[in-house]
């Protein structure tokens, strides 16, 4: 059996959606599980849809996830431009392969599987408008091609002349009539489609001397010896054409197997997960923050504080299930456990709360020292110069309460700076002269560990005294245990905060 070779083949038309990252991930997992290669190919033949920065965004997103291609654009973290022993199929950016495709298009014309079409954009537009006026849709297919300007209808010398003179012709696939294309999908099983429903797709354009997606995709998958095509469900309608192209080229024997992944669905309802859902419900749909060429910014999982491991784990579970109760998987564990036959056909509903749950789990798995190292620069940004060992102690106390490292500050800023404000409803309840006096007396005459004992021994009302003290230490009546707080900030600072509260709130 030939070595497993799969590819992720994004078009750089904008930031990679989390569904795109999942496609890359499943390809990567499949490749690694089978000891094969994962290839990153950039499908940038549609210059109208090219977005500057999108390719770099794709590369950076995959790197952030720890998904490194064995071959392709960004193999070894470099853009590979020329073929070598390690990268025999370079370049991996289709715009740099433009010289390759024309001969394949011509080959199909010569074998009668494709033809030249000379209809101008205006002529086709007119046809469309006419059809629309009659409540129909114009389709370039077996019903219409006979009445259009192409190499099937024009005399041979006219065709030669137009090919030489005009620069706007195309090569179209001659969709066979009266056939049922029988296909197999590794996730969806057997599929049959009648060619009567399909049109004569453009394969190559003289205007920019570039192939369309369909031709470039098939030719490159063949040349790059791809064994499995794992891609999103939105490409399923193209599958019959792709089967017919393999057949037309005579490449059926080495044709890859196909797997179409289920859609990612919005948290409520049945639609596809879109950026709008993210904006509305407050979660990212992109791996990294993206600023469009027009300056519009979209949030990213990385900037929102997700660990890449958590993001990878949650993506893996969107459409695949291990068949057990296990939910937490490292990348190597995913490689071992993944299989396409456990990928569902039905769309996978995205649950933003579950996404956060994954991050919480990963946060807990990180050591206190790691988390402290991540938090330190954020503290410095707030102007807090803290001792790393102290930060680590604080992390140990608070990590159970946090989802993101960014949450640490909200949970425990008072372990670094005295509160500047006091929650009014807690002030009303606990800032009473008698409680204040008792709190001051108790703290003055005890230590962090003996405070409660003192309060009890002197028959002071425990809850009220402690909450009055907590108000002074933290600004509210909730938060960590008083003993823990005092261990961190120290008794002297505790007393200073009590006095400060009195200064701020008065009598």
Annotated active-site positions, please? 275
Shortest distance (Å) from residue 27 CB to ligand GLU: 9
Shortest distance (Å) from residue 9 CB to ligand GLU: 4
Instruction: Spell out the residues 6+ positions from residue 423 whose beta carbon is closer than 8 angstroms to its own.
Output: 471, 475, 476, 477
| In contact, 141 and 173? CB cutoff 8 Å | no
Shortest distance (Å) from residue 229 CB to ligand GLU: 6
Q: Which of residues 409-428 bind ligand GLU (CB under 6 A)?
A: none
Instruction: Spell out the residues 6+ positions from residue 108 whose beta carbon is closer than 8 angstroms to its own.
Output: 114, 171, 173, 203, 248, 249
Please state, in angstroms and rounded to a whole number, the distance separating the CA atoms of residues 43 and 259: 19
Q: Which residue stretch of 131-139, 228-236, 260-268, 273-281 sits at the interface with ligand GLU (rule: CB under 6 A)? A: 228-236
Shortest distance (Å) from residue 16 CB to ligand GLU: 10
Residue with tokens 């549609």: 46
Among 6, 9, 273, 397, binds ligand GLU (CB under 6 A): 9
Shortest distance (Å) from residue 260 CB to ligand GLU: 10
| In contact, 349 and 263? CB cutoff 8 Å | no
Which CB sits closer to ligand GLU, 229 or 314?
229
* Token reading at 270: 């049945």
Please state, in angstroms and rounded to a whole number, the distance separating the CA atoms of residues 36 and 22: 18
Please state, in angstroms and rounded to a whole number, the distance separating the CA atoms of residues 258 and 229: 5
Site for ligand GLU contains 266 (CB under 6 A):
no
Shortest distance (Å) from residue 7 CB to ligand GLU: 7
Site for ligand GLU contains 467 (CB under 6 A):
no
Helices (H) and strands (E) in the chain, counts: 21, 15
Q: Which of residues 28-47 bind ligand GLU (CB under 6 A)?
A: 43
Which CB sits closer to ligand GLU, 231 or 266?
231
Instruction: Give me the 193-222 binding string for ligand GLU, x by CB under 6 A, dash otherwise.
Output: --------------------x---x-----
| In contact, 300 and 284? CB cutoff 8 Å | yes
Please state, in angstroms and rounded to a whole number, the distance separating the CA atoms of residues 21 and 7: 13
Site for ligand GLU contains 235 (CB under 6 A):
yes
Backbone angles phi, psi at 71, to 5 degrees: -145, 150
- The burial of 252, by beta-carbon neighbours within 10 Å (0-12 exposed, 13-18 middle, 19 or more buried), is given as exposed
Count of beta carbons in the 10 Å neighbourhood of residue 421: 9
Q: Which residue stretch of 4-12, 356-364, 403-411, 451-459 sits at the interface with ligand GLU (rule: CB under 6 A)? A: 4-12
Site for ligand GLU contains 10 (CB under 6 A):
yes
Among 145, 149, 172, 231, binds ligand GLU (CB under 6 A): 231
Say how many residues touch ligand GLU, by CB under 6 A: 9
Among 5, 6, 11, 482, binds ligand GLU (CB under 6 A): 11
What residues line the site for ligand GLU (CB under 6 A)?
Answer: 9-11, 43, 213, 217, 229, 231, 235
């Amino acid at each position: 059996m030939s070595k497993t070779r799969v590819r992720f083949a994004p078009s750089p038309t904008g930031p990679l959606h989390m569904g795109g990252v999942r496609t890359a991930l499943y390809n990567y997992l499949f490749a690694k599980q089978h000891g094969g290669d994962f290839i990153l190919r950039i499908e940038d033949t549609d210059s109208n849809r090219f977005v500057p920065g999108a390719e770099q965004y794709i590369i950076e997103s995959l790197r952030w996830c720890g998904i490194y291609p064995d071959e392709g654009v960004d193999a070894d973290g470099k853009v590979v431009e020329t073929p070598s022993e390690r990268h025999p199929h370079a370049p991996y950016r289709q715009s740099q392969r433009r010289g390759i495709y024309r001969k394949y298009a011509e080959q199909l014309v010569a074998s009668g599987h494709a033809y030249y079409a000379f209809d101008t954009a205006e002529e086709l537009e007119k046809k469309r408008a006419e059809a629309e006026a009659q409540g129909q849709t114009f389709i370039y297919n077996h019903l219409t091609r006979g009445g259009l300007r192409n190499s099937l209808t024009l005399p041979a010398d006219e065709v030669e002349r137009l090919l030489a003179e005009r620069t706007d012709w195309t090569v179209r696939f001659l969709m066979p009539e009266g056939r049922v294309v029988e296909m197999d999908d590794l996730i969806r099983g057997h599929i049959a489609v009648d060619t009567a429903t399909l049109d004569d797709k453009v394969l190559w354009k003289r205007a920019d001397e570039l192939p369309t997606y369909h031709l470039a995709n098939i030719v490159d998958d063949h040349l790059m010896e791809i064994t499995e095509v794992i891609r999103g469900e939105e490409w399923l309608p193209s599958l019959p054409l792709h089967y017919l192209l393999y057949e037309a080229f005579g490449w059926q024997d080495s044709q890859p197997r196909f797997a179409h992944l289920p859609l990612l669905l919005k948290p409520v309802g049945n639609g596809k997960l879109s950026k709008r859902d993210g904006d509305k419900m407050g979660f990212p749909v992109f791996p990294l923050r993206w600023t469009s060429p027009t300056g519009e910014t979209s949030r990213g999982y990385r900037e929102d504080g997700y660990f890449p491991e958590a993001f990878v784990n949650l993506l893996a579970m969107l459409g695949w299930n291990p068949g057990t109760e296990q939910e937490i998987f490292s990348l190597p564990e995913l490689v071992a456990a993944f299989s396409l036959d456990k990928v569902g056909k039905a769309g996978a509903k995205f649950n933003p709360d579950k996404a956060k749950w994954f991050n919480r789990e990963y946060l807990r798995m990180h050591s206190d020292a790691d988390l402290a190292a991540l938090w330190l620069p954020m503290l410095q940004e707030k102007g807090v110069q803290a001792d790393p060992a102290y930060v680590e102690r604080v992390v140990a106390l608070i990590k159970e309460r946090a989802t993101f490292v960014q949450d640490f500050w909200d949970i425990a800023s008072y372990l670094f700076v005295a509160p500047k404000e006091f929650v009014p409803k807690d002030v009303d309840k606990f800032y009473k002269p008698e409680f204040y006096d008792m709190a001051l007396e108790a703290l003055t005459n005890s230590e962090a560990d003996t405070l409660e004992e003192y309060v009890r021994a002197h028959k002071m009302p425990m809850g009220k005294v402690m909450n009055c003290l907590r108000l002074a230490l933290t600004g509210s009546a909730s938060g960590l245990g008083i003993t823990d707080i005092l261990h961190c900030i120290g008794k002297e600072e505790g007393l200073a905060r009590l006095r400060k509260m009195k200064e701020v709130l008065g009598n």
